[in-house]
Amino acid sequence: MKLERLRGRKIVSRVQQKGILWKGKHLQARYIYGHPRHPAVRTDRPGVFVGTLGSTKLSKSAVERNRMRRRTREALRTSLKAMPDFPTVQLLILPRSSSLSCPFAEIQTDISALLTFLHARSPKKA
């Protein structure tokens, strides 16, 4: 399964407003099942579309915010390898300030809990 970027201001704001909220220890996530409405998105194959939202409330330093984005995407990429039949979903990850100083293993634990939650609640096809 390929990890794709959630692109476009309208798509990200749609997930932020209409997405269902999941709360973890070091991050929150909003999600909507299905492909985003974007002309460049191929709807014939499944994928996980991910965007991270790290504002200056998270940290004033852009270096720290970007490091947090990279850490969450890497945790997601490694956790998705263990789940081959994952549903197509749009994810918007909102890290908390505690995620800047926590070990990578704790971020991976949060991401794994999120993915098992999403996999269990996925809409089943008949």
Question: Using CB atoms within 10 A of its CB, is residue 91 exposed (0-12), middle (13-18) or buried (19+)?
Answer: buried
Predicted local distance difference test score (pLDDT) of residue 122 = 84
Per-residue pLDDT tens, the chain, 126 aa: give them. Answer: 678 888 888 889 999 999 999 999 999 999 999 888 776 667 677 788 999 988 888 889 999 999 999 999 999 999 998 887 888 899 999 999 888 889 999 999 999 999 999 989 888 653
Tokens 């995407």, located at residue:
73
Q: Which helix (H) or strand (E) holds 34?
A: none
Distance, in Å, from the CA atom of 89 to the CA atom of 80, rounded to the nearest integer, reads 12
**Cβ atoms within 10 Å of 106's Cβ, excluding its own:** 16
